[in-house]
C-alpha cells in the first residue's frame, strides 16, 4: 500500500453492507453501488495521479507565487481523495486508495517525461488541461442522476477542478504569447501520448479494478445513472475541443489532432470554428460558461459501459 493510501485508509475503511438495507436507504440496487464503487475508485486513481503530478511540477514553476499555487492545487486534489473515500464509507461500498488501472500509470509516466525534459508547457497541458477537462466531465456526470451524497461531493470537487483548468489555460495563454511554436509542439507531443490513454478508459471493460473491488463488471452499467457510452465519448471529445479553444491554441494545430481521434471511434458533435454568433456549446447542451463556470449540471459526463452492462469511467 502506498504512503498516501496508508495515510487515508483509517478514514476510508468500509464494511460489508446489507444489500437490502442499503437499497431501502438510498432507493438504489446492488448494480448501482457496484457502479459507484468502480467509478469512485477509478476517480480516486486520477486524484492520486494529480497529487503526484502537481507536486512534481512545482520545481519548474517560474515564481514563488506560482509554486505556492501549484502546491495548493496538489493539496486540493488530496482533499478530493479523502472526500471520495469518505463517500464510499457513507454509502457502504468498497473503494481502492491506489492506482490500479494501467492507463493511469502510463499517463503519469508521460507527465514525468515532460518534467525530465523541463517542458512546463507539456506538463500543464497534461495535468491542467487534459486531465482536468475529463475530470470536470466526470464530476458533472456524478452530479446528476446519482444520489444526494454523491451529488453533493461531486459538485464540491467540480468547483476545484474548474479552477485548476482556468489556472492551466491562463498559464498556457501566457506561454503561447512568448513561444507559440514551442507550446504547440508540446501540445502535439502530449496529445499523441496522453489522449489515447485517457479515451481508452472510456471503454467497455476494465483491466483488473473490478476483481480488486470484488464487483461484477458484467453486471453493472451506466444506465443506472441514465448515461450512455456513445454520448459520453462525444461529450468528452467536445469538452476537450472546448479546452483547446479556451487555452488559445491555433486551429491549424488542433484540428488535425481532433481528426486523429477518429481512431478512438468517436467524432466531435460540431466544428466550433463555424459558430460565430455565440460561445461554443459545451457537450451539446450547455454553453462555454456552463463548462468553465459550472453551469448546467447535466451538460457533461464521462464513464463507460456497454449498452446494457459493463463500465469504465475515466479520470
Does the CA dihedral 27-229-154-283 come out positive or negative? negative
Average pLDDT over the chain, rounded to an integer: 79
pLDDT at res. 12: 41
Does the CA dihedral 170-185-276-300 come out positive or negative? negative
251 within 8 A of 273, measured Cβ to Cβ: yes
Q: What domains can you pick out in the chain, each with its CATH number?
A: 26-293 (1.20.1260.10)
DSSP conformation class of 127: I
pLDDT tens, 238-288?
A: 999 999 999 999 999 999 999 999 887 656 654 443 333 333 333 333 333
127 within 8 A of 55, measured Cβ to Cβ: no
Question: pLDDT truncated to tens, each residue of the chain (315 aa)?
Answer: 555 554 444 444 444 445 556 555 667 878 888 888 888 998 999 999 999 999 999 999 999 999 999 999 999 999 999 999 999 999 999 898 999 888 999 999 999 999 999 999 999 999 999 999 999 999 998 998 789 999 999 999 999 999 999 999 999 999 999 999 999 999 999 999 999 999 988 765 565 666 666 666 665 566 665 566 777 788 899 999 999 999 999 999 999 999 999 887 656 654 443 333 333 333 333 333 333 333 333 333 333 333 333 334 444
Tell me which H or E stretch contains 184: helix 180-200
Identify the CA nearest to 84 among candidates 71, 72, 94, 69: 94
Q: Hey, how many other C-beta atoms are within 10 angstroms of the C-beta on 112?
A: 14
User: How open is the CA angle 27-212-54, to the nearest 5 degrees?
Assistant: 95
Cell numbers found for residue 299: 451538460
| Count of residues making up the chain | 315
pLDDT tens, 24-53?
A: 566 787 888 888 888 899 899 999 999 999
Amino acid at each position: 500500500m502506498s504512503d498516501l493510501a496508508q495515510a487515508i485508509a483509517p478514514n476510508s475503511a468500509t464494511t460489508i453492507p446489507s444489500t437490502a438495507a442499503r437499497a431501502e436507504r438510498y432507493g438504489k440496487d446492488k448494480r448501482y453501488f457496484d457502479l459507484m464503487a468502480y467509478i469512485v475508485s477509478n476517480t480516486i486513481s486520477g486524484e492520486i495521479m494529480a497529487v503526484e503530478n502537481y507536486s512534481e511540477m512545482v520545481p519548474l514553476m517560474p515564481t514563488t507565487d506560482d509554486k505556492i499555487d501549484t502546491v495548493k492545487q496538489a493539496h486540493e486534489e488530496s482533499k478530493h481523495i479523502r472526500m471520495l473515500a469518505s463517500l464510499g464509507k457513507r454509502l457502504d461500498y468498497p473503494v481502492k486508495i491506489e492506482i490500479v488501472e494501467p492507463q493511469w500509470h502510463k499517463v503519469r509516466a508521460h507527465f514525468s517525461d515532460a518534467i525530465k525534459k523541463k517542458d512546463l508547457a507539456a506538463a500543464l497541458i497534461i495535468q491542467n488541461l487534459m486531465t482536468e477537462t475529463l475530470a470536470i466531465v466526470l464530476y458533472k456526470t456524478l452530479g446528476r442522476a446519482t444520489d444526494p451524497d454523491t451529488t453533493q461531493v461531486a459538485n464540491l470537487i467540480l468547483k476545484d477542478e474548474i479552477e485548476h483548468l482556468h489556472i492551466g489555460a491562463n498559464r498556457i495563454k501566457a506561454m503561447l504569447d512568448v513561444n507559440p511554436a514551442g507550446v504547440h509542439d508540446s501540445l502535439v507531443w502530449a496529445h499523441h501520448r496522453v489522449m489515447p490513454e485517457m479515451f481508452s478508459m472510456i471503454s467497455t471493460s476494465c483491466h483488473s479494478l473490478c476483481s480488486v473491488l470484488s464487483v461484477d463488471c458484467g453486471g453493472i452499467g451506466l444506465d443506472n445513472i441514465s448515461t450512455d457510452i456513445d454520448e459520453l465519448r462525444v461529450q468528452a471529445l467536445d469538452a476537450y475541443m472546448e479546452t483547446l479553444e479556451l487555452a488559445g491554441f491555433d486551429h491549424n494545430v488542433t484540428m488535425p489532432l481532433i481528426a486523429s481521434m477518429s481512431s478512438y471511434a468517436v467524432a466531435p458533435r460540431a466544428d466550433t470554428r463555424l459558430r460565430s454568433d455565440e460561445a461554443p456549446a459545451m457537450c451539446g447542451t450547455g454553453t462555454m460558461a456552463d463548462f468553465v463556470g459550472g453551469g448546467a449540471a447535466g451538460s457533461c459526463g464521462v464513464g463507460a459501459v456497454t449498452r446494457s452492462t459493463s463500465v469504465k469511467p475515466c479520470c
